[in-house]
Structure 1
Amino acid sequence: MRKIVFILVLVSCALRAQQFRVDTSYTVKSTYTKLIKKYPFITIPVLDKNKNVTAVQDVPYFSEKERTLHLDAFVNNKQKKNPAVVMIHGGGWRSGNKNQMNAMAEAIVASGYSCFTIEYRLSLEAKYPYGVIDVKNAIKYIKDNAGKFKVDPDKIAVLGCSSGGQMAALIGTTNENPAFEDPSYKSKSSSKVHAIINVDGVLAFRHPESSEGEMASFWLGGSYEEKTENWKNASALHNTGKNTPPILFINSSIDRFHAGRDDMIKILNQYNIYNEVHTLENSPHSFWFFEPWFGQTVAFTTHFLDKTFK
């Protein structure tokens, strides 16, 4: 009997380990190794510590059963209340981690913002829309703790890179849409955001300019033919309308990562919603990790945020 119980415990542990396994293929280091031959001038940015910034690592914002999700907070202490930037890493909805956004957070926070890099459930653990819902829960948590983080809850931007950019645009275009909210998450705040920064994230999964395939299918729970509604509803372009907040697009020179952008801009212009586009010539995807594009990305972002919030 004891032997059977012991075996069941081992099986249970193995299943939990499998459930939460992590794809570590997408990192700054692996991307640098991939790009350095074609772009021998790139460097990984090194930032000086800012005495006005307090960084708090691995703050738990959500717990369910045996799973806890965390965020890293970077708070500018010069003001009592700052606009906030919620930051979502890329990695094809499958890989990457919040630490990849910390350098950009440290650079942006120096300009008078509170920045938050978010852990969310990836596709090996949970399919669409759970990662999106996780980030929306993080936004509620940040607003609930606005005093602690020196945040103005009425000035929240969401920024994402690559698949994180797709998620950021979707989060901003589905403000207070119950289909993307977690009714079990107890909060006095909404997940509404007031600005979007999309860094090389697609706006439409099914589009003449789009070439999304296996990675998107895995996250969305099946191919376009199998999960047509998911492919449509997960596209920010499908959700864009008169209530979409101002948006900044920062893009590489690779066309597939612009999918749906121009059509989205037509809708934004129809409703006189402010938008900016910056396309970095001769730049690869994941350009934001490296100089000379890291500094440009931060400059475009802070200029847009200053215009929108200050």
Structure 2
Amino acid sequence: MLRWAVEEYLSMPILLVKMLIANQRKKKGIRVEKIYFGKDHGQYVLFFHSDDRRKRNKLIFFVHGGGWIFGLPDIYRFIGYFFARTGYPAILVGHRSSLFHKFPDQLEDIEKGLRKSLEKLGMGEWKTLKIILCGHSSGGQLAALMALNGEKDPIVCREQLSGVITLGAPLDLSAKRNYFIKKLVKLLVKNSMKWHQANPIEQIHGKEEIPFFCIHGKKDTILGMDQAANFVEKYNQYNGDLGKLFIAENLHHSDMIQIFLSGRTETKAVLEWIQERE
């Protein structure tokens, strides 16, 4: 475990350089639009779409990680480019920081970001697209909550929501977490009455009928694999076999986003899973 933590720490500078290069590289035929939905610097979305019309049957809605504190959509532009290059329009959404805004503000932000985007793109071909929610780390938790809360307050109709992809996400807040993550969760959820509302596994009640693809790094020392395993096990108890667990053998926590930087086994698995969604 210690060796894996050291591996991740030492790999971070290289990962950041790869992200920077991928963000700066010009992408011919890909257009990017910025849409604001609030006054905070994190309340905006980036919409990526390509002139390539091979596949426009699904829209990817991605929520970045950063422990609910850090991160902006602009830092993860390469993910929008990745999906647009493969033929899928993508929306990257930001949210307010938990340093100053507590849960459920972050969930409300990404829901507002999707609603604003759909209003903006509501005309013509965009209205018929199926939506895949996707998120890394804390963003995966928010994406999962958005889907699971949809029965109570639907942002999009069930027919339009095609599935959810989580990457190294805290899906069971009662499962094993390191000290750092525990502090982040406590900072996020100040009101104990809202604790269960922030825990995706506690929002499973049956009849969700939304496919989940939960990818978790085998070498993740920040969030143990039981985060995804526990969630998928309970989800399948209520929803048949709609939950799928995929263990990324050589990935840690932060480097899960390498899936969108190079052709890996996990990259192929993600694209195949998206293609399978009706």
Q: TM bucket by the smaller chain? A: 0.7 to 0.9
Gaps of 5+ in 2: 1-5
Alignment of 1:199-214 (within 5 A): 199-207=167-175, 209-211=176-178, 212-214=181-183
Equivalent pair of 1:194/1:246 in contact (CA under 8 Å): yes
2:60 to 81, 85, 88: 85
1:280 to 239, 248, 259: 248
2:217 to 230, 233, 252: 252
**Cα 1:108/1:164, change in 2 over 3 Å:** same
1:137 to 112, 119, 143: 112
CA-CA distance at 1:150 after TM superposition: 4.8
1:265 to 198, 222, 232: 232
SS at structure 2 position matched to 1:158: strand
Q: CA RMSD in A?
A: 3.2
Equivalent pair of 2:60/2:131 in contact (CA under 8 Å): yes
Partner in structure 2 of residue 3 of structure 1: none
Q: Distance in 2 between matches of 1:216 and 1:40?
A: 26
Alignment of 1:46-65 (within 5 A): 46-47=21-22, 49-56=26-33, 58-60=34-36, 62-63=37-38
Which of 114-123 and 209-218 deviates more?
209-218
Question: Are 2:207 and 1:234 aligned?
Answer: no
Partner in structure 1 of residue 3 of structure 2: none
CA-CA distance at 1:266 after TM superposition: 2.5
Question: Are 2:272 and 1:303 aligned?
Answer: yes
Q: Distance in 1 between matches of 2:109 and 2:124?
A: 19
SS at structure 1 position matched to 2:230: helix
Which of 281-290 and 300-309 deviates more?
281-290
**Cα 1:73/1:230, change in 2 over 3 Å:** same
SS at structure 1 position matched to 2:164: strand
Q: Distance in 2 between matches of 1:276 and 1:146?
A: 31
**Cα 1:75/1:38, change in 2 over 3 Å:** closer
Equivalent pair of 1:197/1:249 in contact (CA under 8 Å): yes
Q: Distance in 2 between matches of 1:119 and 1:263?
A: 27
Question: Are 2:17 and 1:69 aligned?
Answer: no
1:29-69 alpha-carbon deviations (Å, 9 max, x no partner): xxxx994636898671655644342222x311x236x7782
Equivalent pair of 2:57/2:88 in contact (CA under 8 Å): yes
Q: Percent same amino acid among aligned pairs? A: 19
Q: Distance in 1 between matches of 2:185 and 2:13?
A: 31
**Cα 1:128/1:153, change in 2 over 3 Å:** farther
CA-CA distance at 1:176 after TM superposition: 4.1
Partner in structure 2 of residue 175 of structure 1: 150
Question: Are 2:73 and 1:98 aligned?
Answer: yes
Equivalent pair of 2:61/2:131 in contact (CA under 8 Å): yes
Q: Distance in 2 between matches of 1:101 and 1:144?
A: 23
Question: Are 2:208 and 1:243 aligned?
Answer: yes
Alignment of 1:159-170 (within 5 A): 159-170=134-145
Amino acid aligned to 1:77? D
Amino acid aligned to 2:244? E
Alignment of 1:186-197 (within 5 A): 190=156, 193-197=161-165
Q: Distance in 1 between matches of 2:41 and 2:79?
A: 27
1:150-195 alpha-carbon deviations (Å, 9 max, x no partner): 53455111111111111111111111424xx8xxxxxxx6476331
In our comparison, the structure showing a higher alpha carbon Rg is 1
Partner in structure 2 of residue 30 of structure 1: none
**Cα 1:244/1:99, change in 2 over 3 Å:** farther
